A and B are shown apart, each in its own frame.
Chain A
Amino acid sequence: MRPFEEDFKHLNDTLQEMGALVAHSIQRSVLSIVEKNEDYAHQVIRDESRVDQMEIQIDEMVTSLIVREQPMARDMRLVVSAIKISTDLERMGDLAVHIAERALSLMMQPALPEPVNFGEIANLVESMVLSSLESFVKRDAQTARGILEMDNAVDKARHGIQRKLIELMQKDTSTIVRALDYLIVARKLERIGDHATNIAEDVIFLAQGVDVRHRVAEVA
């Protein structure tokens, strides 16, 4: 392997490492809500700075590669995708922190009179995140295209949770503060799904050189 190939591999590996860290944060933030696990919530908050540092590290690697290697073709697509994916991952890390903070807040409050099922949206979003990272590792555009189709299901699940919480708040106004926290959590999960979709779009560009954002090209 020539020296510059090592640099591209290092960029790729760092991005995978950042992806794994963010995926763990998202999983822990969901568990901190579902299992009311304070340790997981604090772990997510602690890991945020590592995620931020990795974003900066990836930016530096990308700018250095552009200056030194003036990358073309698949190398160019990797550096362009890397800078976008790392931005999405950093935002996903922030959203995991927001969820963890809501979890800590909810732990201080009594449970809602009726449980709200976060299982569906959490499973969908975690699946999107893991699949988007897997598609990046394998440069698998087919898996990435599958993620784009999951986005609507997440939106639907979030709307279901929102309806349920509004009903609860209308029935019992004392639940408003707690219900709003849950509403925020649902919204943050939906946003994580949106970022996973962005990553999937970047993977399609990386693997095939095709831009499918905003349905510019036919997705199917």
Chain B
Amino acid sequence: MAVKQPQTQMRPTTTPETSGAVQTGAPKMRAAGINFYYGKFRALHDVSLEFATNKVTALIGPSGCGKSTFLRNLNRINETLRDTRIEGEITLDGENILTRDVTEIRRRIGMVFQRPNPFPKSIFDNIIYGPRINGMLKTISAADIVEKSLRRAALWDEVKDKLRESAYALSGGQQQRLCIARALAVDPEVLLLDEPCSALDPIATAKIEDLLVGLKSQCTIVIVTHNMQQAARVADTTGFFLLGRLIEHDKTDTIFKNPSKKETEDYITGRFG
């Protein structure tokens, strides 16, 4: 099967979007007036943000600022928590995801977490888990899905001869790429990543970053990161959160060269607090 591989041999030489206004093309996703509560605690205050199609958006901010909470609302993972409440609207291609079938939403909007969390199964079974429960194996062979997903996650060459081995036998960086491959196996339109490299070494981090740059032509990506250099390297636009509010969202170049808000500048220059 001929599958175009993302570039992984060499670090990307193309830079993300440069200066100017935030991408204003038709957004893939749009969050409007989001308020989110853990019990009585209001974690998000009237957050509105658009995610441009086939772009990488980074969300940065200090711990507890609400960026992960916001990300987890984008595929309704927060609904699994007790005593939480959301107000506002989140749309995917113009449709409000808050009123759609949650299983369908999570197939279309995949998520990768901070720590690699492969299932206690073989590499093959990890990948095929999502397609199986989503009924995708009726039309495509499991082997094809596994190869395609692992190639998209730049992992195929490293694991093609040990697909039946336990996923736990992989290194941390490989496990995280396996989790990305698992998320990609159901062909999501949006990929959410919550600090996906925070537990990885610089080499594994570089592989994930290269992967994201290669993947954005296939899906829209939103990444939460504490690593500002990572945001600068991979993101087309960057949003800065503080105390549950979106302070500023602009082209990544603008955010890191000449942000318009003092709070943003104080944070990215290390003068915050």
Contact = CB atoms under 8 A, between A and B. Distances in A.
B214 interface: no
Chain B: interface residue count, which band?
A: 10 to 19
Interface residues of A, number: 14
B15 interface: no
Given A77-B257, A209-B257, A72 B271 contact: no
Interface in B69-106: none
Interface string A1-28: 0101100000000000000000000000
Interface string A69-84: 1111111110000000
B20 interface: no
**Nearest 7 CB-CB pairings of A with B:** A209-B258, A72-B268, A73-B265, A75-B269, A72-B256, A73-B269, A73-B268
B269 A71 contact: yes
A2 B268 CA distance: 15
A208 B268 CA distance: 17
A60 to B, nearest CB: 21
Nearest to A76: B257
Given A2-B270, A2-B271, A5-B271, A73 B256 contact: yes
A73 B270 contact: no
Contacts of B217: none
Interface in A29-87: 69-77
Nearest to A5: B271
Interface in B218-232: 228-229, 232
A70 B229 contact: yes
Interface string B258-273: 1100001100111100
Contacts of B270: 2, 4, 69
Nearest to A210: B258
Interface of B: 228-229, 232, 256-259, 264-265, 268-271
A71 B257 CA distance: 10
Interface in A167-220: 208-209
B232 to A, nearest CB: 8
A208 B269 contact: no
Contacts of B232: 72
Contacts of A71: 269
A73 B257 CA distance: 4
B263 to A, nearest CB: 12
B15 to A, nearest CB: 15
B103 to A, nearest CB: 41
Contacts of B259: 73
B256 A76 contact: yes
B60 to A, nearest CB: 11
27 contacts: A2-B271, A4-B270, A5-B271, A69-B270, A70-B228, A70-B229, A71-B269, A72-B228, A72-B232, A72-B256, A72-B257, A72-B268, A73-B256, A73-B258, A73-B259, A73-B264, A73-B265, A73-B268, A73-B269, A74-B265, A74-B269, A76-B256, A76-B257, A77-B257, A77-B258, A209-B257, A209-B258
Nearest to A208: B258
A70 B227 CA distance: 12
A33 to B, nearest CB: 42
Contacts of B228: 70, 72
Nearest to A69: B270
B136 to A, nearest CB: 43
